[in-house]
Structure 1
Amino acid sequence: MPDRSLSDKLKSSAISIGKELPMDVYAKNGILLLKRGHYVLTPDMKHRLIQLGFAEQAEEPKPADKTDAEGYKNQLLFEEIAFLQQRVRSMLLHALGRPGLEGRVRSIAQTVMTLCERHPDGLIAAMLLLPFQDYAAAHALHTTALLALITRQMKVPADHREILLCAALTMNIAQVELQNELFRHQGALAPEQYAAIHEHPLLSSAILREAGIENDLWHALIQTHHENWHGKGYPFGLNRKQILPPAHLLHLADITCAKLAPRSYRPPQLPATALGQLFQRKDVDFDAAFTTMLIRELGIYPPGSFVRLANDEIAVVLARRQKPSEPQVAALRKADGPAYAEVLLRETSHAAYKIISPCPAHMSGVRISFLAGLWKY
């Protein structure tokens, strides 16, 4: 990278709401605030960038040819979502230490909705494939993304949808460190862990109030996202008629994402297995309409999951199609052979490439960084 000069204060005219940043933006101390190509989605976000940001001054770039321009446009979607994970982590860890929590949470929710509309298959794939360092932040983002997908076809007021996503981002804000601890925990819970889990819906709501968030629906969803239809949830033990439908939907998304994520001591459940259990109501009784929407949005074989084909190839699912059993896939290797130099697109509606079964990620034989390039802007 050329030497940076941060003497140029960022100008308002350099940023347009709803458009990509044309340059990297740095804080005065040289820390990168936002990478070129990220979207500035709200006036508050633009104001903060102008207030804190400095534009990079570098050598005049040479004119880009068509290939260079396309290469920039096809930057990895996973990079965007990895950066979003860091935003979620910062939001959770500094909830009360920085002003404007509600604006930060809403901005992340709006970013997730934008990604959901523009790159739904890539968003699902990132949920299943993208590595994470902080489980609490990753789980919050995964649950939010799943709800954005499920609700995009539902007839709900736009603000209610956004509040539901905000609740998903902040439902565990009182137990961030505990969640990361439990990610590595095996065996029975200690009494203090059990108590903290049961208290966190109310404590999370209290933290939001302390931060100045007063939206009643937001607090109701936070407080009741662990209630269940049988009255055995917590912290109130509500029955089915007392639970708001969006709180029930949040509970479904929360459990689904927990099933699909690994633990430090076990791999994740196969997506097809986890979704099948939810659909068959083997664990918790969920509204059949909600589980149907969940399966319809993710598909039997979600993007980012792995399958074995009739010709004994191992493939990764790229995109959903109208027929759930016939998604778009890319073959990675023969089950008993090395990885191919390049992926091979297969038509799963043909008998030779029919999907026989789901399979675990380790059978792909390739690095996640290689797979990430399959979903682009």
Structure 2
Amino acid sequence: MDFDFSDDQQSLRDAMRKWVDKGYSFERRRAIVAAGGFDRAAYGELAELGLTALTVPEAHGGLGQGAIDAMVAMEELGRGIVLEPLAQTFVATSVLSHHAPEAVQAAWLPRIASGEALVVLAHQERKARYRLDVCEAKAAKTPTGHALTATKSIVPAGDQVDAFIVPAQLDGRIALFLVERAASGVTPRGYGTQDGSRAAELVLDNAPATLLTTDGLAALELAVDTGIACACAYAVGVMDQTAALTFDYLNQRKQFGVPIASFQALRHRAADMKMQLELARSMSYYASLKLGAPAPERRRALAQAKVQLGQSMRFVGQQSVQMHGGIGVTDEYIGSHYFKTLTQLEMTWGDTLHHLGEVSARMQDTAGVFA
């Protein structure tokens, strides 16, 4: 199997890295956090780079690229711990292009591609505990379509976006709907999250909605798996920078007149960090490559990837803080923000324990995780 990136993918990585290094400094990020955790101007810059159009089909004004291109982009965004939810754009694009009626695709995909519209998934409920088949939201038919009554939690940038993709019960099964934020009966309450990004509690009270698909669980599983793959790639970028920052600190910090990087115990811990990073990177590649596989195979692969990424994120983040000492948790130091991001990512799209259960449940004839 060829694991080399194409010239176009390398060009995409280079362009993203330049933007992160020059256009999304730590100071700019801190200002965005202070302003609420979301900057439409920064999201617009991502659109200008072509990222919002990356996975939109060419027929709807996009670039028609695949999961590996999205992975490359998310890795580079992770290096800068970029707050704007580009991953949600990839999630929405995947759901709409695979499951929405053609009229809905024609209405929304070109707007998503241009960056004019930001659409996010609003699926989490308090009682679900990461389970996708637990959904108390209700949909009712109306003379003009459907109306939704629901409460969804931790919706990314929920008070700033243009529309939501919402699962709800319709005729005894989960269906997927699109709800515009400006519609009647839509009430988002925004707040900042632990890593500095923005989310919202979303309340829908007979809000008008457009039906996307009655096979909502399958579409929701695809959406979440796409989100997991994006989170894995983003986490690799964050861990890459966390490790680089830590190794640089070990070479600069001195005790007894020598850099602490010369201490054998710390060198071993640094080597363990690097090993966990590379394990995470390989599983991130595996996750993105499996997005096009049949649903049972894809679901198991993404759960496997999230287990490894969860373990690696916890290890790399904690080792970085411990080897830095007190400065590793100060707000003025970027290392603490890498650590907070890794901690939050470990719980995003299902925590490690949840996905370990998913891997276990999907084992069949053998106890081997990768069978």
User: Would you call these one fold, judging by a TM-score over 0.5?
Assistant: no
Larger radius of gyration, structure 1 or 2?
Answer: 1
Q: Kindly indicate which of the two structures has a greater share of residues assigned to strand.
A: 2
Of structures 1 and 2, the one scoring higher in RCO (CA 8 A, sep 6+) is 2
TM-score (norm 1): 0.31
